[in-house]
Structure 1
């Protein structure tokens, strides 16, 4: 890990669970939001669907559980709750150290399944937004994770 600039032209980081330890906070937001709508969402399933956009998760779970809900509205509600809880999110120290070390040596980007407004808030809250020349999010691409588009 000493001289990445000799071996790579740039670095691309995932955000949720890689740069930022957001997964526990996302799960709290998901749990509280889904409880309101009577949708079951286990922690194991949550982690298995990591990186899949919120609207896709909501649509899939609602269909599986015989519910009809507005996936866009529920996704916004979940993300607003996550935003409220954002102060609890911490960086993943080891990954932050790598990004901090190479931020002036290599071009760097973030690729995430989160919406742009969420990515911007997280990276800004963690003091890392200006380290990355590009942030590519779920709303920038046609096919979300697990497709390789991002």
Structure 2
């Protein structure tokens, strides 16, 4: 299933709004299948402090970094008292599951085709360096991306736009396009007036992603690659 806002994008009066030179790919949940491991790791981290946060509620916040997720799901008081310890607990819990993580079908092929079409390519993650390094290895990202990011590159994580600003700055990109899997990817991009293409690999519905601002929603990376000519990634403008 593919939904896209404009089948005549490049012939429309507003087409310049979608002219891009840089593709910014989210990593977790978009290129590699991590969202449910993230949710379970956070659940277990909270349980260490006798906090039981329903997994469905945690899942709705995946895409945020820990600085945003903890107060969002557990409240500001918990964040003030336990943020650093919870982040460390999450790291330990996620590290125990990281060997399970695999790339989504078509991830490498999609990146290669976008690069071959002439776009600058940035892999934007707010994850910790040890995990980002591992995930880049899974998709051979270092050999193809022009740049990548980690949590060390931004003061605030999504939905703050810091990471996208850094991603564009690293490649001197003037007009970016976000490719992500969560409503938080869309929210961060919206704050910079950057359009977003979304894939449903993070577990968010088409309706949620469209409501958050995605101009196109795709069931998978394979579907997105097949539809590139109908998107702003048809060619650099």
How high is the TM-score relative to the length of structure 2?
A: 0.52
Decide which of 89, 106, 111 is 1:94's aligned counterpart. Answer: 106
Unaligned runs of 5+ in 1: 1-6
Is the partner of 1:91 in helix, strand or coil? coil
TM-fit CA distance, 1:60 = 4.7
Matches of 1:148 and 1:68, distance apart in 2:
23
Larger radius of gyration: 2
CA contact (8 A) 1:112 1:136 kept: yes
Please show how residues 98-109 of structure 1 align to structure 2 within 5 Å: 98-103=110-115, 106-109=119-122
TM-fit CA distance, 1:13 = 0.3
Of 57-66 and 74-83, the range deviating more from structure 2:
57-66
Of 54-63 and 19-28, the range deviating more from structure 2:
54-63
1:36 aligns with 2:48: yes
Q: Which residue of 2 aligns with 1:18?
A: 30
- Which whole-Å deviations, capped at 9, do the CAs of 1:13-43 have from their partners, x for residues lacking one? 0011101110011122122222221122223
Matches of 1:31 and 1:115, distance apart in 2:
18
Matches of 2:138 and 2:130, distance apart in 1:
12
Please show how residues 1-150 of structure 1 align to structure 2 within 5 Å: 8-63=20-75, 69-103=81-115, 106-150=119-163
TM-fit CA distance, 1:68 = 6.7
- Which whole-Å deviations, capped at 9, do the CAs of 1:86-122 have from their partners, x for residues lacking one? 1111112134320133445543111123233321222
CA contact (8 A) 2:25 2:122 kept: yes
Q: Which has the higher strand share?
A: 2
Unaligned runs of 5+ in 2: 1-18, 164-237
Q: How many matched pairs?
A: 144
Matches of 2:94 and 2:54, distance apart in 1:
17
Q: In angstroms, what is the RMSD of aligned CA positions?
A: 2.7
CA contact (8 A) 1:86 1:122 kept: no
Is the partner of 2:48 in helix, strand or coil? helix
CA contact (8 A) 2:32 2:101 kept: yes
CA contact (8 A) 1:51 1:114 kept: no
